[in-house]
Structure 1
């Protein structure tokens, strides 16, 4: 019944024609065989656009400059491989809030081919999209051609992940492992920030955590809490530890009670093993999970995200360094706004107070403040000052919700690194954010 759907990766590459628009699965669902072989079509195509998000694969078609005339790559979220290859001039960022990523792109142009990773078909003819549903199900339903790289190494997950092979055009049998990221131990700054945030988390709260040292530090501070729930964009390895300890059980959730809700999973192999055929974890479409109006239906929703730079009015740049794209908005705005829509909801934006940056004139690295009077020229505002709530550094935590500019400037300077506070006050006075009676 299904054998006629199996093809080789070279046969899939032969489907690619000039001027096509191709979308591939995000992050841990990235179709590695397709990404590794697409460059083989370069001699017979031009103006092919590929959309991806949080990529891991080092695809030659965008990595090597020789293919720049054949392929364009548009990314919803940059990673090191895109940052490095951006210089070739055929890579561009798609501004988005995650819950609209798929639908707004579909409004703009149709999808000719969709390719993503999935599990092998079960005895009923269903596959699971496994690790990501940020936009995958939404794109799959609209694409002209659907190709799945089916793989026994991918976990079978539940929610809105099941697809029958009748709705798939082609399958390629693969055996690579899903990409993993380590469950990093937090450093000293992470621990300080994590403690500030954890003190604001109560028994029964519903949590959204991101990736990295600060979220891991927060998670490590939560083992004395009870009855926590999860409604999050990304399911992480640190959440598994809390689930196994009984801290996360979802008993107090007001939406999807008893279930962990997310739209993609990325972490360790141990985490992937944990979610395999585990009905406690529900992976739903990003347009639903990250919709701020849906997030707000969770009483006591807590959103925890990080940023690169905050200005004294509260604007958060979390995705670019000046005009240079670094990552993406992702779900930061979705979850921060959604949490504040919730009854007793709270949103936290964390950052280190300083960073070491190379001086363009001297070539030497120097310490700079990440709390600034004004954002760098061309910086992307990931979270507007209208939507910021708590801001946290290793020097403290302040709440900006409802505050005026003068009050915000005073509060943010108080949690900046002490060596930069005098300078920030002088700049704030010059710009009119504060007055001499500050």
Structure 2
């Protein structure tokens, strides 16, 4: 950055402010061919994204990078003027993916900042949702740091939606007044992440996972019914730490239960670390002006040396399906792109290298009548079998660390649904012969 829309012309020292999106003319700031990025999930600046969708024909053709979608403000119909690219098919992105107009960027989450900085993933315009400024005119970055920090360093234009209801979060970077090209005022509650239903099966899985987590462990946990159940099952632990790409409401419950102190995590002592906050009012209230919860960029939260230095890192991730050798598909279900490569491999590898760490993939044994443990994946290999760790279903735990292929097959069949085990054994032996496992 450092120049305005005209090459070689210095940016004005103070960005103009507008009272409402109705008066906002984005054509002053967005050029044909630009790629736009904004915070994902609850960090999405809804006023700006809505204006972008409504005015999309004013810029000829642009491209939008999508993270997790919650608001549904962008849909497949907007592909008449917008090219969509994203790392995931989560949330409302699924409609865009199913319509065939979402280009998937299959990459490790840790690679996103480097792609942005190198220009491999070019970001021209960054849209941010931030809280009101402090006395020095600075803004916190609201609910997300993650890959937005890299985009903030290289974007030609930064537009800040100043939301009066956005919590002021603590992190390692503040948005300086001279970094903002345009401010837009708004006031609305950030979009909450939809609630999940925890049932008996999720609680059974959680009980197995919780048995793997010791006092003093550091937790990385995703979102959804199983992670929520796991966190609930850990309320009796002591001195747990938090270092995760995302943090939700269930983490606040665990902190308030006294299980999380971050006293023994090996770094960032006393502080929970996250890249993005994905929750609702409870999480937002806890995070507001609270230095005990700090946001960091992806280059820190997913850095292999950082993860390896954490004490007893328990990385708890999910999957669409897994095969008998430990390969994981976390992207495609029934032909639809519903997930991502994401940060699973980053954290599973980090947990493998963490002293006392445990890399976990937890999933129900079935989806409807279909087994989620399979002889051959129906989708891509998101996590290779060389990174396989510990797999958990409601039927038990299969530790594949250090296990050869034949032993893996037996252990995985043991945690499959009983009605599928005989078939899996037969198909497994057929796959072993055809693929040269043995």
Q: Under a length normalisation based on structure 2, what TM-score does the superposition of the two structures give?
A: 0.92
Partner of 1:370: 372
Shift of 1:76: 1.8
Mapping 1:74-113, distance limit 5 Å: 74-107=85-118, 108-113=120-125
In structure 2, how many angstroms separate the alpha carbons of the residues matched to 1:105 and 1:138? Answer: 6
Partner of 2:260: 248
Partner of 1:361: none
SS at match of 1:422: helix
**Residue-by-residue CA offset, 1:135-183 (whole Å, 9 max, x unaligned):** 1111011100011111121111112241111111111111121111255
Query: How has the CA–CA distance of structure 1 residues 173 and 355 changed in structure 2, closer, same or farther, with 3 Å as cutoff?
Result: same
Partner of 1:324: 336
Structure 1 contact 130–161 (Cα < 8 Å) conserved: no
Query: How has the CA–CA distance of structure 1 residues 429 and 90 changed in structure 2, closer, same or farther, with 3 Å as cutoff?
Result: closer
Shift of 1:5: 2.6
Mapping 1:252-263, distance limit 5 Å: 252-263=264-275
Shift of 1:4: 4.5
Which segment is superposed worse, 320-329 or 269-278?
320-329
Q: Is 1:397 aligned to 2:410, yes or no?
A: no
Which segment is superposed worse, 11-20 or 309-318?
11-20
Structure 1 contact 14–41 (Cα < 8 Å) conserved: no
Mapping 1:127-138, distance limit 5 Å: 127-138=139-150
SS at match of 1:193: helix
In structure 1, how many angstroms separate the alpha carbons of the residues matched to 2:90 and 2:263? Answer: 36
SS at match of 2:25: helix
Partner of 1:118: 130
In structure 1, how many angstroms separate the alpha carbons of the residues matched to 2:35 and 2:310? Answer: 37
Query: How has the CA–CA distance of structure 1 residues 4 and 407 changed in structure 2, closer, same or farther, with 3 Å as cutoff?
Result: closer
Which residue among 68, 74, 77 is the counterpart of 2:79? Answer: 68
SS at match of 1:162: coil
Shift of 1:68: 2.4
In structure 2, how many angstroms separate the alpha carbons of the residues matched to 1:239 and 1:77? Answer: 23
Partner of 2:56: 42
Q: Is 1:232 aligned to 2:234, yes or no?
A: no
Partner of 1:414: 414
Mapping 1:8-407, distance limit 5 Å: 9=21, 10-60=24-74, 62-64=75-77, 67-107=78-118, 108-321=120-333, 324-356=336-368, 367-376=369-378, 379-407=379-407
Query: How has the CA–CA distance of structure 1 residues 42 and 243 changed in structure 2, closer, same or farther, with 3 Å as cutoff?
Result: closer
SS at match of 1:233: strand
Query: How has the CA–CA distance of structure 1 residues 13 and 177 changed in structure 2, closer, same or farther, with 3 Å as cutoff?
Result: farther
**Residue-by-residue CA offset, 1:239-275 (whole Å, 9 max, x unaligned):** 1111112210011121111110111111121110011
In structure 1, how many angstroms separate the alpha carbons of the residues matched to 2:360 and 2:53? Answer: 42
Structure 1 contact 118–150 (Cα < 8 Å) conserved: yes
* Gap regions ≥5 residues in structure 1: 357-366
* Gap regions ≥5 residues in structure 2: 1-11
Query: How has the CA–CA distance of structure 1 residues 433 and 313 changed in structure 2, closer, same or farther, with 3 Å as cutoff?
Result: farther
In structure 2, how many angstroms separate the alpha carbons of the residues matched to 1:243 and 1:39? Answer: 39
Shift of 1:58: 1.9
Shift of 1:237: 0.8
Aligned length: 421
Partner of 1:360: none
**Residue-by-residue CA offset, 1:314-338 (whole Å, 9 max, x unaligned):** 1000111265311212211111111
Q: Is 1:423 aligned to 2:423, yes or no?
A: yes
Shift of 1:213: 1.1
Query: How has the CA–CA distance of structure 1 residues 375 and 122 changed in structure 2, closer, same or farther, with 3 Å as cutoff?
Result: same
Query: How has the CA–CA distance of structure 1 residues 89 and 186 changed in structure 2, closer, same or farther, with 3 Å as cutoff?
Result: closer
In structure 2, how many angstroms separate the alpha carbons of the residues matched to 1:87 and 1:147? Answer: 30
